[in-house]
Structure 1
Amino acid sequence: MQDQVRQQEIDTATAPAPALKGVKVLDLTQFEAGPSCTEVLAWLGADVVKVEEPTRGEPGRWGMTDRSDADSHYFIYYNLNKRSVTCNLKSEEGKALLRRMIEKADVLIENMAPGTFARLGFDWPRLHAINPRLIFAQVKGFAPESPQANYLSFDMIAQAMGGTMGVNGHPGQPPVRPGPTIGDTGTGMLCAIGILTALYQRMATGRGQHIQIAMRDAMLNYCRTPMSR
């Protein structure tokens, strides 16, 4: 038994570092589509810092539970391996704090209501000026050029408008919503792929880039096979 423990210690000591060790991620997301993305980055070794408003934290903490003395299971499921800091982005002090964090970050991701982050003074040109190496990722319901660009979206809306419900169920029967929340987590996985690609490309260019992913577009991507029939 002692030999097994000793061997495990040796294996741990000689194991390669996590793939994203040293990558700093600022997570300004809530609920599921954004947090599922940053959780993957955290699992891969990134230092993910969740930036939350100071009174109650992000809504996933308290909006999905009937207890007032603990975070919801929903929140815990999508925020493993992360650190957290509170920051009041409605105050100049809070904005200054975020700017200082941006200066040292590799990635910033947000999924606020369309236009909110820009109105706070953090659009892509401003972020790029603060830190030219920053990768800025945004998760929204609809693409910027879409007629619904300013609409909010959640999993069920994305699945309905992206075709996921329409390709489930039986012919002649109403559409069926799949059990898994792929409108959220499926979008989050595609966003993570985009961020990883941008990190790789930055090794050659030395510069960050702006990534935008729409939940409806992500669902259309997952529905290509049934829609081709």
Structure 2
Amino acid sequence: MNPALDGVRVLELGTLIAGPFCGRLLADQGADVIKIEAPDRPDPLRDWGQAEVDGHHFFWTVHARNKRCITLDLRSERGRELFLDLVGTADVVLESFRPGTLERWGIGPDVLSARNPRIVLARVSGYGQTGPHSRRPGYASVAEAVGGMRHLNGFPDEPPPRAALSLGDSLAGMFAAQGVLTALFARERDGGPGQVVDVSLAESCLAMLESTIPDYSATGHVRGPGGTRLEGLAPSNLYRCADDRWLIIAANQDTVFARLCTAMEQPELATDPRFATHTARGRNQDEIDAIVGDWAAGHDADALTALLEAAGVVVGPVNTVADVVLDPQFLARDMLVPHHDEAIGRDVLGPGVVPRLDRTPGSVRWAGPPRPGTHNTEVYTGLLGLGEDELKQLGADRIV
């Protein structure tokens, strides 16, 4: 059975994380994603990642997987002509430039839709294509702050830290993939034209704020950082065990809390007026956290995990990546898969495909191609029908 997006062609422009992450998600499900890099300015993501082998980094290995990579100078007239020829064969154009860039190059939405009325144009930017801040550059760190997410992280009265990941970029990439699939569905349902999918990093962070906006609108309440817990949600926290390992114990639901109380051999806590309901536990959060914390401190983490799992209480360790790659659940579900990295000539592990589809599953077919223009011949001669001599001349002219 072919993967779900087999037959969908995506032209990926732009660099770094948000747009390429969207492209990766689509490619994982079988889309033919053609990554376009400038001949003299490859995607900086090729050099990102904290670890390296012989100067090679691994961000690219994962985020460019399953993509065909070509080079093309979109700033040149001939490059734009070739790009529009590719647009005529495609379903989606995905770009993550600052708003106005495509228009400045003469390949804005009107030009693309004139060449291919069914094209879906996904545009990922810091603040969106409109509004007073639209022309500002945007990175995930700022988007997380502007969108309200960063303020909620960390501990009260301390500087709000960031997660050691580019969450704003990844959220925008996920929303962009959702938008692309939604637009493709609407196009096929209506038999009509494509449309523009406008995704903002800042808005992607704002969209994750749960009830914080209506809470403020209705009551003036400004939610703040909760440290290792969420205020009003108890017990659901990080607890240190006797062997100095940390466990997350989440028993804030009434039925689960009752099971925790039984496991703790303190069943009377489940009917104690201070803790009998979700609201009551929220009001007495410090007290119930202290009780659970004292109890957890008397057990080793493995023994406590086994006890709580047997009791039907939600519990889990705080895994490092070294723990994650050995986790039997992730291994059983193919969430840790080899990527053959040609740059170092061997396999490295990477994340599996999410979500899993049971009838038309996605897969990791190859790692990010190590060289810009790896698929130039395959795409330009096979897809556009250019001759080899013409392709060589385009290379000599630095068009490709």
Please state which band the TM-score falls in when normalised by the shorter chain. Answer: 0.7 to 0.9
Amino acid at match of 1:21: D
Note the C-alpha offset of 1:225. Answer: 3.5
Amino acid at match of 1:163: G
Q: Does 1:196 align with 2:168?
A: no
**Which of 38, 47, 51 in structure 1 is aligned with 2:32?**
47
Note the C-alpha offset of 1:56. Answer: 4.1
**TM-score, with structure 1 as normaliser:** 0.87
Amino acid at match of 2:181: L
**Which of 206, 209, 229 in structure 2 is aligned with 1:220?**
206
4+ runs deviating over 3 angstroms: 62-71, 225-229
**Which of 1, 17, 35 in structure 1 is aligned with 2:20?**
35
Whole-Å separation in 2 of the counterparts to 1:78 and 1:52: 14
**TM-score, with structure 2 as normaliser:** 0.51
Counterparts in 2 of 1:87-166, with a 5 A limit? 87-166=72-151
Note the C-alpha offset of 1:155. Answer: 1.1
Q: Aligned in 2, Cα 1:179/1:45: closer, same or farther, shift over 3 Å?
A: same
Q: Does 1:209 align with 2:192?
A: no
Q: SS state of the match for residue 207, structure 2?
A: helix
Counterparts in 2 of 1:71-90, with a 5 A limit? 72-90=57-75
Whole-Å separation in 2 of the counterparts to 1:67 and 1:203: 44
8 Å Cα contact 1:65-1:71 kept in structure 2: no
8 Å Cα contact 1:165-1:178 kept in structure 2: no
Q: Aligned in 2, Cα 1:91/1:36: closer, same or farther, shift over 3 Å?
A: same
- Which blocks of at least 5 consecutive residues in structure 1 are unaligned? 1-15
Whole-Å separation in 2 of the counterparts to 1:167 and 1:193: 25
Q: Does 1:180 align with 2:154?
A: no
- Which blocks of at least 5 consecutive residues in structure 2 are unaligned? 216-222, 224-400
Whole-Å separation in 2 of the counterparts to 1:173 and 1:65: 27
8 Å Cα contact 2:80-2:107 kept in structure 1: no
Q: SS state of the match for residue 122, structure 2?
A: strand
8 Å Cα contact 1:190-1:218 kept in structure 2: yes
Higher CA-based Rg: 2
Note the C-alpha offset of 1:105. Answer: 0.3
Note the C-alpha offset of 1:226. Answer: 4.6
Q: Aligned in 2, Cα 1:70/1:175: closer, same or farther, shift over 3 Å?
A: closer
Note the C-alpha offset of 1:68. Answer: 11
Note the C-alpha offset of 1:63. Answer: 5.8
8 Å Cα contact 1:88-1:95 kept in structure 2: yes
8 Å Cα contact 2:12-2:36 kept in structure 1: yes
More helix per residue: 1
